[in-house]
A and B are shown apart, each in its own frame.
Chain A
Amino acid sequence: MSTETLEQKNEEVVQKPAEGLLSKRRKRLISDPLNEDNPITVQVLGICSALAVTVKMEPTLIMSIAVVFVIVFSNLIISLLRNLIPNRVRIIVQLAVIATLVTLVSEVLKAYNYEMYKILGAFVGLIITNCIVMGRLEAFAMGNKPYDSVLDGLGSGFGYAWIILTVAFFRELFGSGSIFDFKIFEAVGISNFPTNGLMVDSIGAFMVLGILIWVQRSKTGYVEH
């Protein structure tokens, strides 16, 4: 089994005595997805939600928190169960874990932040289909120890979060003239700043995302083959 060989390799690495809680390798688990191996800009996963929720900062922030929560805990749970999960139904098991966590997030939101639930309702449910979450479970958590999986989840989660927050920042600023619903242009004395419908549409997200990818790749030198 491919997963088993993967796991043996990893165990050899981990078995070396006294690997620091944040050793170089583990730091890379977190830092890689933030930039060089970013789930959105490099792996091009989770684009749908990056377009859908990024009209304003506040829902984007809630969405980011929800995704980080789901990705970290599903990574942890799957990693703990990795030696028990039958290979043939592993995708179903992963899906069940993700769906459970997402439903929990959605229910909690409905109970304690109804305002946001009304805005994000459908999109929170769609975290289930966010390829980043399932991708990390299949590619990482199935073959690695729990602590490493949590770090990997944090890395991917924050990698997703900072990108969508950046996109939302520019979309809300130019689309609605505000940040976190605070009218920024009015505050600095420009009361007739025109709002831009293009940024409010999904097209705006594509443009901001495209520019982000451009800037990032010109820095890291990453090219697609």
Chain B
Amino acid sequence: MTEINNTIEKSPVKLTREDFVSDQMVKWCPGCGDHAILASVSKVFPEIGYKKENFVFVSGIGCSSRFPYYVNTYGFHSIHGRATPIASGVKIANPKLSVWIVTGDGDSMAIGGNHFIHIIRRNIDVNILLLNNRIYGLTKGQYSPTSPLGSITKTSPYGTIEHPFNPGELVLGAQGTFYARALDVNPKLMTEIMFEAARHDGTSVVEVLQNCVIFNDGAYDDITDKSVRDDRTIVLRAGEKMIFGINRDKGLHLKGTSLEVVTIGQDGITEDDLLVHDPYQADPGIHLMLAKMSGPDFPVALGVIRSAKCYPTYDDLMEEQIAEISAKSKIRCMDDLLMSGDTWTV
């Protein structure tokens, strides 16, 4: 892992997983995907290396939003949909904090949808963990904005009649600079992605496809089951060929302006014909195509899909503006301001 380089103060001692374990009882259902995500956070935070006091978790409402209670950092469990603006306030007020948002598909895509696109547009340097189980869990099983068309749930007994959001498309549509996708059943990849998210300057969104054992069990079986996972997902890594498949013989290739799945050795295709992943390129075109891939014709893309440094962060611009205007201004304090402009003495 490459070192993280920014103004957040590093810990003088090497921290361990235990430094981030909270004294609270974890109350998620046994078998819930959230447990694995919590484990990954506890594992990656010591690697990130900041002082433990500099981490802040902010969440909204939902099963995933209980997260701050279960990790020993500064934490704020807020109200439905509003973790993003609260975290924006935290980061802008004190840019020397490492701010993490934990949210779900209801919290971020429905009630908090407006805030979600605006935090991304502003490129505030926070990290969003979007735990997507495609269902409302805490209210016991209603469909969410990411439930596939036709989903049978407690509020859609005859199947949903609305099209779901693909969070990756929203992130890129809002001019996002970082988007990654992980599986709760692959903690190694998840940890790797979280580190990259921390390293990125700007809003990072990590979507974790997460299983709800109670209300939507098996929602991702068609891609996560060990027997099919390698054929139905592709792990993208910077600078590497886009190869997947249990036999590592399939790949992605650009045909005209569209992606195409090809098999190495068939129709004269060699490894050289496959695309090389570049998450750092400013143009989001190919990132959008990768984020949108789904079965049965395409594998679901995992890993860091986009990590572009195409514009500065809001918090950096704010600090720069304050420094620049302060240097120029003759008004240094309230007494100066009160006496500025038109005044007269009696």
Partners in one complex: no
Q: Which residues of B contact A (CB under 8 A)?
A: none
